[in-house]
Amino acid sequence: MSKFWSPFVKDLVPYVPGEQPKLSKLVKLNTNENPYGPSPKAVAAMQAEVNDNLRLYPDPNSDRLKQAVADYYGVQTSQVFVGNGSDEVLAHAFHGLFQHGAPLLFPDISYSFYPVYCGLYGIEYQQVALDEQFQIRVEDYARPNAGIIFPNPNAPTGCLLPLDAVERLLQGSPDSVVLVDEAYIDFGGQTAIALVDKYPNLLVTQTLSKSRSLAGLRVGIAVGHPDLIEALERIKNSFNSYPLDRIAIAGAAAAFEDRDYFEKTCQQVIDSREAVVAGLQGLGFEVLPSAANFVFARHPGKDAAELAAGLREQGVIVRHFKQQRIAQFLRITIGTPEQNQALLDALRGL
């Protein structure tokens, strides 16, 4: 606290990201990164951008990337927004779309950045309880709201809301924006982008940090009606004209263009997830059904915080949230088969 701060700064409760340890030997299963590297074509495209042209500003509109996303999803470039990680895209959406004199609704267990953005932008919100099986109950969202946001699959549970239920949510709140945060959709769900032409109140965000293995590059996208995209563009152009640098634009576009590599590596993660689920169940864990690149699991006879600490002693890090309802769960990112084996071996001894 300092006299130089604007008054609201002292009340901010910032987001706490998962640990990025400096030790390289650890089996790092705590922040849902992809165990496989990005597309070699994306790496080559980024390397080709490291040249004299870096003295010039990048394209403020990232047209090449928007075109690659539009081609991939069969939409118009006017329906696409891109930003510095989906966190930035989400921030602009909170700022530009969710202030309408009623609360924003999101699940009681979901991405912990949502209440942080509400704090930053002064947005009123209500958390809607997931049911006993940690699923979203669509009927619970039929109440006055300034918008609805949820991750699909949900984080940190990994549970998927089927597309027909997403559509019911959209129909239930036609006068407010429904934002589907699809950070993990490529690991087992169907994207709601298929619905954007039908529902002008639908905004879908995705990230290149997970299924396209570019967490270090910081690129996220949004797809929706051009009017929603224009709101995001207005905010972006009032904040930072160049959120994506030349390297990010080239690498992200190439990653969207390399479908084969993307599909192959997603399938590898999905196959490994099924093996991890079986391994955990074999050790007595209860595992929620996951459509993501992580699983959410609890052991009826073992304390989650102690398990996380025991794993850490053996060089395996997973995520544990000291939060009501989920304090006995561990969120475990799917790694390579070797990493997954190391996790199961370490758990066997605890």
Q: Is the peptide bond before 156 cis (omega within 30 degrees of 0)?
A: yes
Q: What's the min distance (Å) between Cβ of 197 and ligand PLP? A: 24
Six token digits for residue 165? 């239920």
Which of 85, 96, 189, 335 touches ligand PLP by CB under 6 A?
Answer: 85
CA angle 327, 214, 86 (to 5 degrees): 65
Stretch binding ligand PLP (CB under 6 A), from 157-165, 207-215, 279-287, 316-324: 207-215
Stretch binding ligand PLP (CB under 6 A), from 57-65, 80-88, 101-109, 172-180: 80-88
Burial group, residue 108, by CB count within 10 angstroms (0-12, 13-18, 19+)? middle
Q: How many residues bind ligand PLP, per CB under 6 A?
A: 13
Which of 87, 167, 186, 258 touches ligand PLP by CB under 6 A?
Answer: 87
Burial group, residue 24, by CB count within 10 angstroms (0-12, 13-18, 19+)? exposed
Stretch 90-129 residues interacting with ligand PLP (CB under 6 A) = 111
Q: What's the min distance (Å) between Cβ of 85 and ligand PLP? A: 3
Q: Residue 307: how many CB atoms within 10 A of its CB?
A: 21
Stretch 153-172 residues interacting with ligand PLP (CB under 6 A) = 155
DSSP alpha helices (H): ranges in 179-303? 226-236, 246-257, 259-282
Residue 86 within binding range of ligand PLP, rule CB under 6 A: yes
Stretch binding ligand PLP (CB under 6 A), from 19-27, 81-89, 185-193, 258-266: 81-89
CA distances from 282 to 192, 316, 332, 350 (A): 34, 19, 16, 14
Q: What's the min distance (Å) between Cβ of 339 and ligand PLP? A: 18
Stretch 210-249 residues interacting with ligand PLP (CB under 6 A) = 215, 220
Which of 151, 188, 251, 279 touches ligand PLP by CB under 6 A?
Answer: 151
Stretch binding ligand PLP (CB under 6 A), from 60-68, 79-87, 91-99, 254-262: 79-87
H or E segment to which residue 169 belongs? helix 163-172
| 53 Cα distance to chain centroid | 32
Which of 30, 32, 176, 265 touches ligand PLP by CB under 6 A?
Answer: 32
Query: Which of 161/346 has CB closer to ligand PLP?
Result: 161
Residue 181 within binding range of ligand PLP, rule CB under 6 A: yes
Residue 209 within binding range of ligand PLP, rule CB under 6 A: yes
Query: Which of 87/167 has CB closer to ligand PLP?
Result: 87
Q: What's the min distance (Å) between Cβ of 53 and ligand PLP? A: 26
Query: Which of 85/279 has CB closer to ligand PLP?
Result: 85
Q: Give the CA diameter of the chain.
A: 60
Six token digits for residue 254? 């190439």
Buried b or exposed e, range 76-92, using 16+ CB within 10 angstroms: ebebbbbbbbbbbbbbb
Three-state DSSP at 33 gives coil
Q: Give me the residues that bind ligand PLP (CB under 6 A), please.
A: 32, 85-87, 111, 151, 155, 181, 183, 207, 209, 215, 220
